[in-house]
Structure 1
Amino acid sequence: MTRKILVVDDTRNVQVMISDFLTGQDFTLLTASDGREALQVVHEASPDLILLDIMMPNMDGYQFISQLRRESSIPVIMITAKQQEADIIHGFDLGADDYITKPFRLRELLVRMRAVLRRAAPCEESKPLLSCGDITLDPGKHEVRKQGRVIELTPLEFNILEILLHSSGQVVRRADLSMRLMESGFTGSEATLKIHIRNLRLKLEDDLEQPRYIETIFGIGYRFVEAAE
């Protein structure tokens, strides 16, 4: 099945460049020039992935992600000229799945797109529930619950939690965690991984200073605390 990609950028030349390239890679392309127009396209066409410029008129990329995440988990790759860590963290905090900075190579964009789409794909293999304390993860439904309440996670956050729950009570080294995530298409650095761990803690309503769920073992990695309840 052909995947539908929504390109959101207020620069027509960028829309055309990305659209022409991805059409040649057998994707179906949709376009929008700002966040408001993009929301309308999302409602009408349900794209599989969104490539999102940040600096746009009317509704910028951050405002768009914030609105989108209230109603959808469609994966989003930020395309931005902003390279400051605070700007990137802000995008991840709002629910972006990955980012690429301008100028970028189209082949690199394609690699990141395929990686994000793989992470977002539903799990076809039947896997048992993973539970620890009041956290339950269902790989089949791609669902996480805390005390019975559904916790909305991005595909990458879900994969991180699944790996940590598989080894609950044991330390998972940062390098090993990054390597295992690469099998699902993770292309970020260990510094980027820290951002995703932080966001995961926030969604689990963990204490960032004294975590009850995901414990940092300084200089080594992370551990899901078995006694969390």
Structure 2
Amino acid sequence: MAETHVLFVEDDDVIREATQLALERDGFVVTAVPDGLEALERFRATPPDIALLDVMVPGMDGVSLCRRIRDESTVPVIMLSARADSIDVVLGLEAGADDYVTKPFDGAVLMARIRAVLRRFDNAGGGFGGASADGDGAGDDGEPLRFGDLEVDTEGMEVRKGGAPVSLTPTEMRLLLEFSSAPGTVLSRDRLLERVWDYGWGGDTRVVDVHVQRLRAKIGQDRLETVRGFGYKLKG
């Protein structure tokens, strides 16, 4: 099995070196850099399997770097923030990050988040055992699921809206597949955290809310309905 390459961007020397050692002890290959501009160069020269980006780094801040990476790639991104500031968290997620971890972080928590994100990325290339419940939906014959002008090919892992392809990150795809498996059913934020983000210990529901907003922007604002106080559901 190929080793997992991590691009780690952190300007604090102590944190960068300690985290790099911890990641390497856990079997990762790490490229650790102190600023965003160098990180973008390294990213383009040798694309990593996952990127860990601190929000506050010189040259190019982590949020801007995340946007640049997302313009070029669907590689998983985890933002690292020195504070649980709503602005930092939401800006990072809106920029395209898959998850975030607040510093100071426990090494085991960071490793768990990394592995969970990588599993989502790997699984996005596999099949999905869902079936549409509305009249247009496909059964188990391999045909795409259809929800109005939205078409979800769960075997080819492709999405089309009005016949045009829709580009989704692996996390967005997993989120859409979860909704597609139970159209018309309200899915709670906690269920989505568990099923999509693999948070067996609970998590920040802002991660769900921001990703739902990102998904709506791509598949149609009216396709995912908010059920206040309960969660979201996919409209057929």
TM > 0.5 fold call: yes
Partner residue of 1:51?
A: 52
Alpha-carbon displacement from aligned partner over 1:184-211 (angstroms, at most 9, x marks no partner): 88963334322221222123241xxxxx
Equivalent residue, structure 2, for 1:222 = 232
2:173 & 2:104 partners in 1: Cα distance? 30
Residue 126 of structure 2: aligned partner: 124
* RMSD of aligned residue pairs (Cα, Å): 2.2
8 Å Cα contact 2:90/2:206 also seen in 1: no
| Identity across matched positions, percent | 35
Q: Which amino acid aligns with 1:147?
A: G
The letter for the 1-side match of 2:180 is: L
CA deviations over 1:112-166 (Å, ceiling 9, x no partner): 0000100111433476432211112233443322123232323222111111112
1:123–1:139: 8 Å Cα contact kept in structure 2?
A: no
Q: TM-score, normalised by structure 2?
A: 0.84
Deviates more, 1:128-137 or 1:109-118: 128-137
> How much does 1:35 deviate?
1.5
Q: Which amino acid aligns with 1:194?
A: D
**1:79 to partner: Cα distance:** 0.9
Asked if 1 retains the 8 angstrom alpha-carbon contact of 2:127 and 2:157, the reply is no
Total equivalences in the alignment? 221
Q: 1: distance between equivalents of 2:7 and 2:62?
A: 13
1:159 maps to: 174
Q: Which residue of 2 aligns with 1:150?
A: 165
Runs (5+) with no aligned partner, structure 1: 207-211
Contact (CA 8 Å) 2:193, 2:199: kept in 1 or not?
A: no
> How far, CA to CA, are the matches of 1:50 and 1:183 in structure 2?
18
Per the alignment, residue 106 of structure 1 pairs with 107
CA distance change for structure 1 residues 43 and 192 in 2, over 3 Å: closer, same or farther?
A: closer
1:197 aligns with 2:212: yes
Q: Secondary structure at the match of 1:40?
A: helix
**Match of 1:136, SS?**
strand
Instruction: Provide structure 2 residue ranges, at least 5 long, that are not aligned to the other structure.
Output: 130-141
Distance 2:38 2:171 in 1: 27
Name the aligned partner's letter for residue 22 of structure 2. F
Closer, same or farther in 2 for the Cα pair 1:166/1:111, shift >3 Å? same
- Distance in 1, matches of 2:128 and 2:191, equals 24
TM-score after normalising by structure 1: 0.87
